[in-house]
Structure 1
Amino acid sequence: MDQISPDSPQYVYEQLAAIIERKIRSGEYPPGTRLPGELTMTHEHKVGPGTVRRALDILRDRGLVVTVRARGSFVSDPLPPAPEAPAPPA
């Protein structure tokens, strides 16, 4: 789901980071691709610029995005491996 839910217990910036990460991992934003600008993302997801910046901070911390000053944010190439899903209880 690529929509932010105001009823979710997750912070809006965490939801946005998860949406962008899904798009990166699915190949919608392949490695090396420039992400949409902050202004575009604020309009597309109906959030404030601070929310977009915090979401990008999370993605940078995860190694999924690299930001180049005055050029924008780009999908890392190569991508780091996806985190392992927790094993189901035995």
Structure 2
Amino acid sequence: MSIDLDGPEPLYRQIANFIARRIADGTYPPNRKVPSESAICEEFGVSRRTARSAYALLAERGLIVTVPGKGTYVAERSRDADEDGDADR
């Protein structure tokens, strides 16, 4: 994935959208861990703050959940969300 440093969309949103696509295509399946913030920093060459903001946006969208002491996981998709198409926001 290439990040558009000169475009108007903030980096954290670009990263969140990329991870959301990975969730949608099954690269990161429900109830399984997503990469750590450190791994995101390394993969995309961004700061921890940027990675944290991307994950905060994904959590706000209901795509990931953080379990204290365990890590961050892909949220389980509900049947209602699948039927409404809301899970692919």
TM-score (norm 2): 0.85
Distance 2:15 2:88 in 1: 17
Distance 1:50 1:25 in 2: 24
RMSD (CA atoms): 1.2
Distance 1:82 1:5 in 2: 22
Distance 2:16 2:7 in 1: 14
Runs of 4+ with deviation above 3 angstroms:
none
- Give the number of the structure whose alpha-carbon radius of gyration is greater: 1
Amino acid at match of 1:41: I
Distance 2:38 2:3 in 1: 17
**CA positional deviation for 1:8:** 1.6
1:12 to 2:18 alignment = no
1:42 is matched with 41
Task: Name the one with the larger helix percent.
Answer: 2
**CA positional deviation for 1:70:** 2.2
2:61 is matched with 62
1:33 is matched with 32
Amino acid at match of 2:23: I
1:22 to 2:28 alignment = no
User: Unaligned regions of 5+ residues in structure 2, if any?
Assistant: 82-86
Paired residues, what number?
A: 82
Distance 1:30 1:61 in 2: 18
